Amino acid sequence: MPKAYWNGAVIAESDDTLLVDGHHYFPVEHVREECLRPSQTRAASAEKGEARYFHVVVGRELNADAAWTFLDPTPEFRELTGRIAFWHGVEIE
């Protein structure tokens, strides 16, 4: 079962991830909500749509813009709706 770790804590865990472009997309309900803080960062992808970012927080440590989701992905990537992916040092095992 894929798990996302950062700063010594499991922040997401699911048997139902989607692997897209080398990133595991976890269902939002399988991500520890208390580990995410909204970010103002947005990024446009012509292929997937607009990404909205989150900071990952564990204890008093913050990993800026280390998670993202596509609120309204393009039709080719509709399966990413309701899923969150990680980077910036978040380990997936």
- Residue 3's pLDDT is 98
pLDDT at residue 77 in the model: 97
Residue given tokens 């804590």 in the structure block: 9
| Domains of the chain from N-terminus onward | 3-92 (2.170.150.40)
Q: Which residues of the chain have pLDDT under 70?
A: none
Q: Are strands 23-27 and 83-86 parallel, antiparallel or unpaired?
A: antiparallel
Beta strands in the chain (DSSP E): 3-6, 9-13, 18-20, 23-27, 36-45, 49-58, 61-70, 83-86, 91-92
Model pLDDT, residue 35? 98
